Structure 1
């Protein structure tokens, strides 16, 4: 019989598997052909778990920079969402639609009827119908009770694997069985995405929108991913490859399925592109000022007054929690600041920030006038040995830290270039603070002689992808011509 501590270890391993794989577990149910039978799903969930609903909403707001409330965007998105609700008879006072102030391209929903879209997503979509399609997809997950199915499947996997371990007395066999279960659950999750797409087409059609918007919105996301891959120096299909562990089907497959589903809808319905552009005109673009700005390889925080620069070939990703930079050979760094003040010397302060990290070769140094400390920790991971380094900097009133990670079997230069990046940390000058301005998305009318190249050149971005970003943002392809009177989006500094 399996001993209790082994059972606990199995449960921990399973929890890690589920978390690392980002599993969206569901039961093997038949896809629904209509939404009428599940229209009470969010109401029932919210009534049964009001505290959970508030907690999930609060967590989403924290993770994605809070609600975006400037201008008319939030009210516009809420109106579009409520039009979908009313046209499909989904009840009143149940659904909420929120714009998150994040440059990430994302949308999701809670089972209590909270639907979230990010600023980054709005900047990619082309019209109101596409926005309705994305929100309809997320509503489809709620209406089909996918979250509840996920919890049920997760509980079943836990119980089944533990029982296998108990009966066979072989934890390795149990974990192998768990992997097979996870692969099967992934397939169910991919079915969910297709089901949510089909529900989105139904919701669009009943609301009078162009039913092809579901396929078009997916194509926008595919175009965005292709551009992101180019910026990162990766193959164009890197974000869309199918694997046995993928929770989502390939976007190209979803586009084709959505096009087929649209044939049974209203392909001549409204798109309302002008209303969409009017709502987005002047919207904040990219990072919000309170989180600092990732500009190419540079990170600048004018409100706190510091900057640093990632190595060549690295790409910065800013979030409310941290700044990350990923580069060649799986090397990366994570930067963050804390209000915790130094306590004693810098080495002791650094160790207290990372109490569970065994640091060796700890020493003090000065980085552009700031007291600092650093320590090294070789450690192992599932992908092989990696070298880790911590750098802590005394930046009043608190401490800023870099976590630097490179593979021990990779080029030695990776560890050194990351350490050098940490040593670029410095205070911004008054003129740099004044010049570090947020960016806005502005709608302009094409004039005679305007070209994509000319309009893209007005963007303050200097990363070599201004034209590609302009084309993607406006749903254009290389070689497309602009017509006088056409409305397009550009990015400008305040």
Structure 2
């Protein structure tokens, strides 16, 4: 019995010895892997998945600005690479091997080349201070300990728990590292001729966005967890920037590019399934559907309803379209009486679309003195029913309204390849503010579907209550 115990102990000792060797080998292997090009690997992945922003001018701009800033850093002469990702998220990040990626979604919030330089300088600061390498080394050590725990206990759960603990501890940079990157970045941009106070300006703009995202949208923290690393009235941030001020000369420095010219046309948000083209055409890629209004009309989406207005606005004519999906075939008459249950039908007729087709048309009772005509049409396209309501105002007539409804029904068709080739993406546009301009007015014409006024203030650095000043450049979304 004693020999069995001794033998078991020997086996256990040998097992532990092998595990110790495994730990040493594993950690050594992970240490060697730190030299692998994480940024280069990401570059290849981004290339394969087509995640770079498809605009050579922006790629060149960010690279030129990054290389300029790099020349004023402690890593001057080292190989760095700067790229813009076609990602609407508010983020930028650097890898230990000098690859710096900036999302176009973050660029949208910048209001000067100096602010963009502050973001890029901050990321250079992380690489110069070797924050990414330290973070990755500790993370890989956690992976090594996880494998060791699994080998010692024979339980995969123990390895998972160890690794999860390290991941939780190391997720994101800590406040000290963020402030160090702020300090280094401020010194870099000051030496390059940009006001280091732009660091504070950029942080405030991004914090406003994060506050809005938390309060209104319920989104998670974004760029380096600014709320946690940069509290309100952050004295340490101001001190870090103050240290950089002596390196700044107020001599005018030639910018790398015209920032406002560059940002005019920047793609906004995520690619939408629903969009408009030429003002009077609306399309839905998920339904593979197009609706064309008369050429001089303006069309927009309001919730799930398509709304088109004549050149003179609602006082001339307005047409709304609702799409209904019904699991059985039903006549237009039954749809109106049984499903819609409209009590305001005055007279039912038909509307000729062409020589071989006509649709249900009803004249509605008018209860508004500003309305000169009210019509309701029902059109079936495929398996869907389209309920089309038209109203003419004091500047229009019921005959013109009838013709416009006919044009709209003719314009309900399947999406074609040609439509996709002429797709117009939602983009940032730069205008000069006029006296009396407000974000509320800009929001009315914006394709932003939720919180348009607040979003316009945020991207212009005017959150929560400021309005455009006459003569200033203002970013709108069209």
Deviations 1:197-251 (A, max 9, x none): 222122122212111222222222222223334553x38xx6389xxxx987715
Matched, 1:262 2:241: yes
1:283 aligns with 2:262: no
When the two structures are superposed, what TM-score results if normalisation uses the length of structure 1? 0.54
Query: In the alignment, which of 106, 110, 126 is matched to residue 121 of structure 1?
Result: 106
Pick one of 116, 122, 134 that aligns with 1:149.
Answer: 134
The alpha-carbon deviation at position 114 of structure 1 amounts to 2.0
Whole-angstrom CA distance in 2 between matches of 1:490 and 1:481 = 13
Counterpart in 2 of 1:339? none
Indicate if the aligned counterparts of 2:40 and 2:99 stay in contact, CA closer than 8 A. no
Q: Could you tell me whether the CA contact under 8 Å between 1:450 and 1:482 is conserved in 2?
A: yes
Q: Specify every segment of 5 or more residues in structure 2 that has no aligned partner in the other structure, as ranges.
A: 1-11, 23-29, 277-281, 291-302, 304-325, 330-382, 385-411
CA distance in 2, matches of 1:477, 1:129: 20
Does the 8 Å contact 1:240/1:250 carry over to 2?
no
List per-residue Cα deviations over 1:387-407 (Å, max 9, x = no partner): xxxxxxxxxxxxxxxxxxxxx
Worse overlay, 266-275 or 435-444: 266-275
User: Which of the numbers 426, 441, 446 marks the counterpart of 1:459?
Assistant: 446
Q: Does the 8 Å contact 1:105/1:118 carry over to 2?
A: yes
| Aligned partner of 2:221 among 225, 236, 239 | 239
Structure 1 position 467, deviation (Å): 0.8
Matched, 1:83 2:68: yes
The structure-2 alpha-carbon separation of the partners of 1:175 and 1:207, relative to structure 1 and needing over 3 Å to count, comes to same
Residue 228 of structure 2 is matched in structure 1 by: 250
The number of residues matched between the two structures is 331
> Quick check: 2:207–2:226 contact (8 Å CA) kept in 1?
no
Q: Which has the larger radius of gyration?
A: 2
C-alpha separation in 2, matches of 1:105 and 1:252: 16
**TM-score after normalising by structure 2:** 0.56
Is 1:444 paired with 2:422?
no
Contact kept? 2:175, 2:229, Cα under 8 Å? no
Task: Report the counterpart of residue 461 of structure 2 in structure 1.
Answer: 475
Change (3 A) 1:469 1:53: closer
Q: Which residue of 2 aligns with 1:199?
A: 184
- The change in CA–CA distance for 1:82 and 1:293 in structure 2 (over 3 A counts) is farther
Structure showing greater relative contact order (alpha-carbon pairs closer than 8 Å, 6 or more residues apart):
1
Residue pair 2:174, 2:229 contacting (<8 A) in 1 also: no
1:264 counterpart SS class: helix
Taking a change above 3 Å as real, the CA distance of residues 110 and 300 of structure 1, as seen in their structure-2 partners, is farther
- RMSD over aligned CA atoms reads 4.9
| Contact preservation (8 Å) 2:94, 2:132 | no
* Whole-Å separation in 2 of the counterparts to 1:182 and 1:227: 28
Q: Which residue of 2 aligns with 1:106?
A: 91
Segment drifting more, 123-132 vs 136-145: 136-145
Instruction: Give the equivalent residue in structure 2 for 1:59.
Output: 45
How far off its partner does 1:69 sit?
Answer: 1.4
3-state SS of 1:193 partner: helix
- Distance in 2 (CA, whole Å) between partners of 1:218 and 1:115 is 18
